[in-house]
Structure 1
Amino acid sequence: MALSVSDRLLHCLVLSVCCTSIHAVPRLASYNVDGAKVSVSGISSGACMATQYHVVHSREVMGAGIIAGAPFMCSGGLAATALGTCMMTPTRISVTALEAITSSGALFGNVDATYHMRNDRVFIFDGTRDSVVNPVAGQKVAQYYSHYMTSSHIKTVFNINAEHGMPTLNYGGACDQLNSKTYLNNCNYSAAFQLLNHIYGGLQAPNSKIQANGQLLQFNQADFFHLALPSAYSMDNVGYIYVPSGCANKQHKCKLHVAFHGCKMGRMFVGEEYVRHAGYDEVGDLNNIIILYPQVISTATNPQGCWDWFGYTGSLFATNKGFQMTAVRRMVSRIMGSSSSVLG
């Protein structure tokens, strides 16, 4: 049906506003980052993405925090396996098979050589009340990583009465309840601090009176997709970065941590709840750790707004050629700028 002149004008105006709002988001800046101090973490699908990113780019990553996640390539690229074996019946996960897949990926150059993980540090959390991801999955993550590093480098926390969500020091709903609006659980326990402290060591701990004094900034994620819009791969046009007050002037080397949100925890679903209240910002501010918060959206192939750990973006999702993996690595590279001796 043909549009009237007024309809066409309105259509153009809407497009103009949308395009202006996208382009008005600033480019991601570069900072003074120590290339040997890059780490990742995530909750739920974000935990699976953190494991993927860590294994695939272990030459560039020193540690990972896994909260209610599953081992690398657990899904085998199948949503049914992700929802079934990985999340509901993890006793059926064959860690030996996943180790073989990892070795094959390294042999063909799709993931970094596994010896790069030998000195890395991994933190694994699963709440005893988790009704979304069977806590046994955390044990399988620990078993997987124990093949590549000493047990002293793996810290597991499986004894807190927490439901599915991000455990925080003092924000969110009841720790033992499913808080499906934000998935932030007030557990009097900062998972963000605990995992970052295990990875880096010697960090200053936050308390309930400490506020983040740095800057939470938006940036344009479209910069990191060269052939299509971010939405083609279920990613938002907008991402977030938290820059601690001690890192803003770029005079001192800072650490860099990538925090992957979980399903229904991106900007589209919860606004800035996760990026402001998951607990990373306060720890980052006290310890000069820049926090990168890449964002995923809901699409037809990904209605829950999850990171791709089951192949909805294609068969290469868990390799160095995966679309989401590549975009996040480009973000990391931009933040590190010329200070990195690893990234090109």
Structure 2
Amino acid sequence: MRLRGVQYGARAGLRAGGQRSGQQRERNYRAQHIASHSCALRGAHHRFCSAFPRCSRARRRPSLSTSRPQRSMLFSLPGRISVERLPSSSRGANGRGHRGVNMRAFSILLSMLAWCWASVVTAQELPAVGADPAKVSVSGLSSGAFMAVQYSVAWSSEVMGVGVVAGGPYNCAPPNGLGFINVCMRGSPPAERSWRAAQDFARDGVIDPVAGIARQRVYLFSGTKDSVVLPSVMAAVHDFYGKAKVAPDALAFVRTMPAGHAFVSAEIGESCGENGGIFVVECPLGTALYDQPGAILNHIYGLKFKPAASLSTTPIAFDQARYGGGSALMAGKGYAYVPTACRVAAARCAVHVVFHGCKQSADTIGSDAIYAKLGYNRWAESNGIVMLYPQVNASAMNPMGCWDWWGYSGLNFQLRHGPQIDAVHQMVKRLLQGS
């Protein structure tokens, strides 16, 4: 059974909503296809691990007490999910029986438990700092790169730039069913199909008009040593933005560096070609180390000042449940870095959202490596940028703590009001309040 995307009849259900809101039409879309989606998800958990040869190895949690973290593999499944076939006598008239209903009930229960857990987190609310709505951008690694693409396409009228590090094109998983791993991480997904999906969703009013993508500044990165998301996939991302008519000078593609599947930092990390550990590496560029956070922010904003030697404050933890993070199967806490100068509304600071990769949340790696040490915050301090680091932890439906790019949180995951996209959008709106 295949996950259904816009190419498999979703648009008919979306358009039947007439004048109803985009949010209501997305709920209808999810309800109409929940049975087929449940079946596909159960098989997908089996296939996800098979993409990574070393995923079953035992490993230790990395420690950031030294400058070189211990090595560990990102992609591991703690268990297997069995898939059973109901006897034909137990199936309903639609031939699917009660599997879709049971999985839907299970998903709802998980969401309720996640919400209850997140609601007891003693973290503060994000500050309303009156940030500049014209200066919102996103970036991410791996599943976070998929999410950065999804968010920037769904809210293209509100996002000025995006950084994609080892991710894939928009709406890649649904048309490929259970084969999405091979196609979207190791194959050559057709950019034309992703572009048509974006056009169709925009026509149905469930994402912003695609014309907004053309004005974005886009940074793409694919390491030549990346064994998780192959360079051919990032080539498809490049082609997608080409079809969106992003200007050549606004579309940067770094693809000759011998980096593994990781963020590239000038401050912490393992050797350049590593595909494990906390998925942060250091890569030499001439006589210095390549500073990817700085490269992303500079390409998007055109930075005026060098990174700060010291920070004016420390990152804060905030309660993601306030913004719908619980029902979106996100972690209880997210993190943000708000330079002291940006707490004055008149500062009109920019906002940049960083989506971590699978097995890379703060709780998973047991450290502040991504939200405090990667290198974004020093650039943000000197250039007036509020940094937002939303978090996703592992769960039964998401055993590796990935951002949703295949549908575990709902079939509208790639749309404007998909659970995780909507939750992060609410966080950004909070930072913009007072502007």
* Alignment-mate amino acid for residue 294 of structure 1: P
Q: Does 1:213 align with 2:312?
A: yes
Partner of 1:332: 428
Describe the SS at the equivalent of 1:317: coil
| CA–CA distance in structure 1, aligned partners of residues 429 and 405 of structure 2 | 22
Residues 34-58 of structure 1: per-residue CA shift (max 9 Å, x gap) = 1100000001000000000000000
Residues 131-153 of structure 1: per-residue CA shift (max 9 Å, x gap) = 11101211111110011222221
Choose the corresponding residue for 1:247, options 337, 342, 347.
Answer: 342
TM-score by length of 1: 0.87
* CA pair 328-20 structure 1, distance change in 2 beyond 3 A: closer
Q: CA deviation at 1:286?
A: 1.3
Q: CA deviation at 1:21?
A: 9.1
* CA pair 19-266 structure 1, distance change in 2 beyond 3 A: closer
Q: Do 1:77 and 1:311's aligned partners in 2 also have CA atoms closer than 8 Å?
A: no
Residues 268-326 of structure 1: per-residue CA shift (max 9 Å, x gap) = 21231111122111111111110000000101110000000011111100001210111
TM-score by length of 2: 0.69
Choose the corresponding residue for 2:328, options 229, 233, 236.
Answer: 233
* CA pair 20-123 structure 1, distance change in 2 beyond 3 A: closer
Partner of 1:120: 216
Q: CA deviation at 1:215?
A: 2.6
* Alignment-mate amino acid for residue 274 of structure 1: I
Q: Do 1:78 and 1:310's aligned partners in 2 also have CA atoms closer than 8 Å?
A: no
Q: Do 2:139 and 2:354's aligned partners in 1 also have CA atoms closer than 8 Å?
A: yes
Choose the corresponding residue for 1:22, options 120, 132, 147.
Answer: 120
Partner of 2:253: 156
Give the stretch that moved more between structures: 70-79 or 262-271.
70-79
Q: CA deviation at 1:22?
A: 3.1
Choose the corresponding residue for 2:296, options 195, 200, 209.
Answer: 195
Alignment RMSD: 1.9
How many pairs were matched up? 313
Q: CA deviation at 1:234?
A: 2.3
Q: CA deviation at 1:25?
A: 1.0
Choose the corresponding residue for 1:142, options 211, 219, 238.
Answer: 238
* Alignment-mate amino acid for residue 194 of structure 1: A
Q: CA deviation at 1:76?
A: 1.8
| CA–CA distance in structure 1, aligned partners of residues 133 and 364 of structure 2 | 33
Partner of 1:65: 163
* Alignment-mate amino acid for residue 230 of structure 2: N
| CA–CA distance in structure 2, aligned partners of residues 220 and 167 of structure 1 | 28
Partner of 1:172: 269
Q: Do 2:328 and 2:423's aligned partners in 1 also have CA atoms closer than 8 Å?
A: no
Give the stretch that moved more between structures: 249-258 or 190-199.
249-258
| CA–CA distance in structure 2, aligned partners of residues 79 and 41 of structure 1 | 26
* Alignment-mate amino acid for residue 293 of structure 2: A
* Alignment-mate amino acid for residue 140 of structure 2: G
* CA pair 119-167 structure 1, distance change in 2 beyond 3 A: same
Q: CA deviation at 1:222?
A: 0.7
Q: Do 2:125 and 2:318's aligned partners in 1 also have CA atoms closer than 8 Å?
A: yes
Q: Does 1:101 align with 2:197?
A: yes
5+ residue gaps in structure 1?
Answer: 1-17, 340-344
Q: CA deviation at 1:267?
A: 1.8
Percent identical across equivalent pairs? 35
Q: Does 1:54 align with 2:158?
A: no
Partner of 1:263: 358
| CA–CA distance in structure 2, aligned partners of residues 77 and 223 of structure 1 | 33
Q: CA deviation at 1:82?
A: 3.5
Q: Do 2:202 and 2:210's aligned partners in 1 also have CA atoms closer than 8 Å?
A: yes
* Alignment-mate amino acid for residue 311 of structure 2: A
Q: Do 1:234 and 1:298's aligned partners in 2 also have CA atoms closer than 8 Å?
A: no
Structure with the larger strand share: 1
| CA–CA distance in structure 1, aligned partners of residues 150 and 420 of structure 2 | 11
Residues 65-109 of structure 1: per-residue CA shift (max 9 Å, x gap) = 0000101111127674442101111x2x11111111111100101
* Alignment-mate amino acid for residue 318 of structure 2: F
Moved over 2 A (4+): 18-24, 77-82, 202-207, 210-215, 230-234, 248-251
| CA–CA distance in structure 2, aligned partners of residues 212 and 202 of structure 1 | 17
Describe the SS at the equivalent of 1:40: strand
| CA–CA distance in structure 2, aligned partners of residues 109 and 21 of structure 1 | 32
Residues 153-199 of structure 1: per-residue CA shift (max 9 Å, x gap) = 10000011101111001311111122x33111122111111011001
Q: Do 2:155 and 2:207's aligned partners in 1 also have CA atoms closer than 8 Å?
A: yes
Choose the corresponding residue for 2:138, options 40, 46, 54.
Answer: 40
